[in-house]
Amino acid sequence: MPGGPAVPAFPPADPSVTDTPTPVTDTADATDTADAAGPLARERAHLASSRAALRAMRADVEALDIKDVAANWVNAQVLRRQIDERITALADLAHTPLFFGRLDYLHAPGAERAEGAGGEQFYIGRRHVHDAAGDPMVIDWRAPVSQPFYRASKKEPMDVRLRRRFGYTGGELTAYEDEDLTDTTSDDRASRLLQSEIERPRVGPMRDIVATIQPEQDEIVRAGIGGTVCVQGAPGTGKTAVGLHRVAYLLYAHRERLARTGTLVIGPNRSFLRYIEQVLPALGELNVAQATVDDLVAHVEVRGTDDPVAARLKGDARMAEVLRRAVRSGVTMPVEPVIVVRGSRRWRVPAYEIEEMVRELLARDMRYGAAREALPQRIAHAVLVRMEEAGEAPDDRVQDAVARNAAVKAAVKAIWPAVDPAKLVLRLLSDAEFLAEHAAGVLDEDEQRAVLWAKPARGVKSAKWSSADAVLVDEASDLVARTPSLGHVVLDEAQDLSPMQYRAVGRRCTTGSATVLGDLAQGTTPWATTSWAEALAHLGKPDAAVEELTQGFRVPREVIAYASRLLPAIAPGLAEATSVRESAGDFSVREVAPEALDAAVLGACREALGREGSVGLIAADDRIPVLTGVLTAAGLPFLAPGEETSADSRLTLVPASLAKGLEYDYVVLDEPAAVVAAEPDTRTGLRRLYVALTRAVSGLAVVHARPLPEELG
Ligand SMILES: Nc1ncnc2c1ncn2[C@@H]1O[C@H](COP(=O)(O)OP(=O)(O)OP(=O)(O)O)[C@@H](O)[C@H]1O
């Protein structure tokens, strides 16, 4: 059995109790009338002994003496680091509950369900804790035994009699809530603890949802490592949360494999990555890399930008073919034989024979660089055959020596020249003739003109590379030498990637799998994805399953209904999210005279700051300097996106271009018309507005002087 023996020392049935301050209700055993304080006290005692057990586990690791086991200094360093990580992972965080649930199985999991066989009880938490005898006190939420905590229902109880959820206040266990899954007289009911968790004000960075993962989310979290999963979901349906928990799950289920191959979370920008960076460490996972797509392809320094037409073309998958041709264009057929002199003898390999080798290498599905390394070996082999025919008995060392012979090297240099990917792309973007030669039949003349730099660059260092250019360099690099693949990649806000960017991500998980998360309605790049099937094909994972999440955990009902008015214009056919939040949310739209706009925005911010939780003032990027002045003059301190909000500093001024993926309890949205107008076309503008409108957790105030976009009417 994966979880080991059951947690002992509890009577088989506890009554459901209500204790302050978390409201606790639901399906008690009607017959059970035990003293309400008893069970809660017992649960608290189990918490106390589990924490003591965790401290003991940590003390054991701290006491490890590595002097005798580490063979050398390097080993000792590696071991020390592993031990330090383990000590960190075993920290008892006062405000992070050690367990958040309990499952009472009808039978011991895995055992024969013999009549009269006893049930077992498991506490579910963030990490595994065992006592001195090695018996588990808390089971890791990712263990198979924990799965019914997220999936079991009255319809499918999964052999669980009782599911208990614990409520905490400031690290103290203060309440619990029971569901009797064998009681079929009533339906499954929404959990109060889940509700209060969702409604909890947001302060600080994103937090984990491990105590309240929903069944449809859990299916994605625990999907097998072999397959790629793509999740389409409206704003606030938990895509990011699900992606991060999935990595944590995969690391648990395939620890060794992924430690070898690596995992990576890709997000849209630095502030987003900073916002999510604490979720995995809170789940005990410290070794997951995070990057933006730009980070992945940082072969050249990006200092330039493209107009939308050029950017879109450079992101078009057809560029891959142009690059493929260009990379191989330097290969020329030999016209002269290669003559290798060894001692007193000369060995001659005729040009036609080398040409055959070159053609054979070109026909093979090989990286340019690998073929370049293979050619001298082939030529050397031909020399060896001749030596043997002449009665010599050369061995492998002779073949290697011939391959390194100056004549062979010179021939290879001429036939199969080395390619510097950045220089190659630079030439393609600067030299109209070179581009025309390789883009013929792929890009038409207008397209070729659009792709070329206005001013040809002199060198790789001085060129004004754009981020789309950097992706081209990455593609060229991969044509020359294979990009190493990771074990698993999570790609968030995937809808914004160009086909060429998908290819760049895809080659980082060729032998691994991916979790692709996005919302077609939130695509705000000129090249944004219109279909997941297409995106997945560019990623190299055409068989990935596409799942949809529709339950919204962030945006209040009234607000999501308002934002969804934009859907027919920005993503016809996409389902509107339903809000699982009970509070309808504060929602207001205020029209003011143009000269009163700044003051009204300031007033709305002050009002929001009068409430609990974080406040985001979202505005078109070009309004940011003005609003910076307004807030500063009014003496209101504020942060930039990604900077951590705290109890004293709760206001963030957010350029609309950076709002994606973030959330605030209260959002003040400045001048929607300006947000729309900042984008190159109306559809993109409305999508940007949709993103801005869907960042609020508890309330949204829209303040405007210009008419609202008619799609909101
Ligand atoms: N099962 C859950 N229990 C509690 N909170 C949840 C759950 N699922 C999601 N949430 C919360 O809902 C909010 C939105 O989640 P998340 O940011 O992952 O959504 P998203 O789909 O990525 O949104 P967007 O499309 O806007 O980027 C977060 O605060 C998250 O913690």
Cβ of residue 310 lying under 6 Å from some atom of ligand 1 = no
Q: How far is the CA of 276 from the centre of ligand 1 (A)?
A: 11
How confident is the model over 443-447, as a mean pLDDT? 97
10 Å CB burial of residue 196 (0-12, 13-18, 19+) is: middle
Query: What per-residue confidence (pLDDT) applies to 113?
Result: 54
Query: What per-residue confidence (pLDDT) applies to 286?
Result: 85
Q: In this structure, what token pair is assigned to residue 26?
A: 């639901």
pLDDT tens sequence across 697-709: 999 999 999 999 9
Is the pLDDT score of 443 beyond 70? yes
Query: What per-residue confidence (pLDDT) applies to 594?
Result: 97
Atom from ligand 1 closest to the CA of residue 517:
22
Atom 18 of ligand 1, nearest CA residue: 238
Atom 14 of ligand 1, nearest CA residue: 236
Say if CB 323 and CB 507 are below 8 A apart: no
Atom 24 of ligand 1, nearest CA residue: 235
Same domain assignment for residues 565 and 604: yes
Same domain assignment for residues 594 and 692: yes
Comparing 457-466, 536-545, 576-585, 589-598, the range with the smallest average pLDDT is 576-585
Q: What is the CATH number of the domain that holds 649?
A: 3.40.50.300
Q: In this structure, what token pair is assigned to residue 154?
A: 């009255």
Cβ of residue 236 lying under 6 Å from some atom of ligand 1 = yes
Q: Which mutation among 209, 217, 244, 662 tests ligand 1's pocket best, with the greatest number of atoms within 8 A of CB?
A: 209
Q: Please provide the average confidence, as pLDDT, over all residues in the chain.
A: 89
233 is in an annotated binding site: yes
Query: Which is higher by pLDDT, 414 or 344?
Result: 414
Q: In this structure, what token pair is assigned to residue 332?
A: 């020329």
Number of domains in the chain: 4
Atom from ligand 1 closest to the CA of residue 242:
18
Atom from ligand 1 closest to the CA of residue 233:
21
How confident is the model over 472-495, as a mean pLDDT? 97
- Is 21 among the domain residues? no
Q: In this structure, what token pair is assigned to residue 28?
A: 């008690």
Comparing 76-90, 291-305, 609-623, the range with the smallest average pLDDT is 76-90
Q: Which residue has the tokens 């009014």?
A: 634
**Closest to 478 in 3D by CA, of 320, 641, 352:** 320
Say if CB 525 and CB 496 are below 8 A apart: yes
The DSSP annotation for 66-109 comes to: -TTT--SHHHHHHHHHHHHHHHHHT---TTS-SEEEEEEESS-T
Same domain assignment for residues 223 and 267: yes
- Is 578 among the domain residues? yes
Same domain assignment for residues 592 and 679: yes
Query: What per-residue confidence (pLDDT) applies to 164?
Result: 95
How confident is the model over 34-42, as a mean pLDDT? 71
Rounded to whole angstroms, the Cα distance separating 217 from 22 reads 25
The DSSP annotation for 191-256 comes to: -HHHHHHHHSPP-SS----TTT--HHHHHHHT--TTS-EEEEE-TTSSHHHHHHHHHHHHHHHTHH
- Is 436 among the domain residues? no
How confident is the model over 255-264, as a mean pLDDT? 94
Q: Which residue, of 523, 550, 577, is where some domain finishes?
A: 550
Most confident of the ranges 9-13, 68-72, 161-165: 161-165
Q: How far is the CA of 239 from the centre of ligand 1 (A)?
A: 6
| Residue 623 DSSP code | G
Same domain assignment for residues 533 and 565: no
What is the Cβ-side half-sphere exposure of residue 684, based on CA atoms within 13 angstroms? 16
Cβ of residue 237 lying under 6 Å from some atom of ligand 1 = yes
Same domain assignment for residues 529 and 571: no
Q: In this structure, what token pair is assigned to residue 400?
A: 């290697």
Q: How far is the CA of 571 from the centre of ligand 1 (A)?
A: 21
Is the peptide bond between 21 and the residue preceding it cis, with omega within 30 degrees of 0?
yes
Same domain assignment for residues 388 and 295: no
Q: Residue 623: give the domain boundaries.
A: 557-712
Is the pLDDT score of 9 beyond 50? no
Is the pLDDT score of 61 beyond 90? no
- Is 311 among the domain residues? no
How confident is the model over 603-620, as a mean pLDDT? 95
The rounded Cα 580 to chain-centroid distance in angstroms is 24
393 is in an annotated binding site: no
pLDDT band at 253 (very low <50, low <70, confident <90, very high): very high
Q: Which residue, of 498, 527, 550, is where some domain finishes?
A: 550
Same domain assignment for residues 288 and 346: no
pLDDT tens sequence across 629-678: 999 999 999 999 988 887 788 999 999 999 999 999 999 999 999 999 99
Is the pLDDT score of 28 beyond 60? no
Rounded to whole angstroms, the Cα distance separating 124 from 142 reads 9
Query: What per-residue confidence (pLDDT) applies to 679?
Result: 93
Is the pLDDT score of 622 beyond 90? yes
Query: What per-residue confidence (pLDDT) applies to 114?
Result: 52
Is the pLDDT score of 572 beyond 80? yes
Q: How far is the CA of 551 from the centre of ligand 1 (A)?
A: 10
Same domain assignment for residues 189 and 101: yes
**Closest to 29 in 3D by CA, of 17, 20, 44, 11:** 17
For the chain, helix (H) and strand (E) counts, in that order, are 28, 21
How confident is the model over 104-117, as a mean pLDDT? 69
Q: Phi, psi (5° rounding) for residue 666?
A: -120, 135
Same domain assignment for residues 562 and 530: no
pLDDT tens sequence across 161-199: 999 999 888 788 999 999 999 887 777 677 787 788 777
- Is 364 among the domain residues? yes
Same domain assignment for residues 69 and 142: yes
The runs of H, that is alpha helices, within 431-547 are 432-439, 445-451, 467-480, 499-506, 532-539
- Is 23 among the domain residues? no
- Is 656 among the domain residues? yes
Q: Which residue, of 361, 385, 415, is where some domain finishes?
A: 415
Say if CB 276 and CB 240 are below 8 A apart: yes
How confident is the model over 277-291, as a mean pLDDT? 89
Comparing 37-41, 281-285, 363-367, the range with the smallest average pLDDT is 37-41
pLDDT band at 25 (very low <50, low <70, confident <90, very high): very low
Is the pLDDT score of 33 beyond 60? no
- Is 459 among the domain residues? no
How confident is the model over 130-154, as a mean pLDDT? 94
Query: What per-residue confidence (pLDDT) applies to 471?
Result: 98
The identity of residue 211, as a single letter, is: A
Q: What angle do CA 522, 523, 525 make, to 5 degrees?
A: 145
Contacts of 517 (CB under 8 A, 6+ apart): 230, 231, 233, 239, 240, 242, 243, 490, 491, 492, 493, 494
How confident is the model over 305-326, as a mean pLDDT? 96
Rounded to whole angstroms, the Cα distance separating 398 from 395 reads 5
pLDDT tens sequence across 512-567: 999 999 999 999 998 999 999 999 999 999 999 999 998 999 999 899 999 999 99
Host H or E run for residue 586: strand 586-591
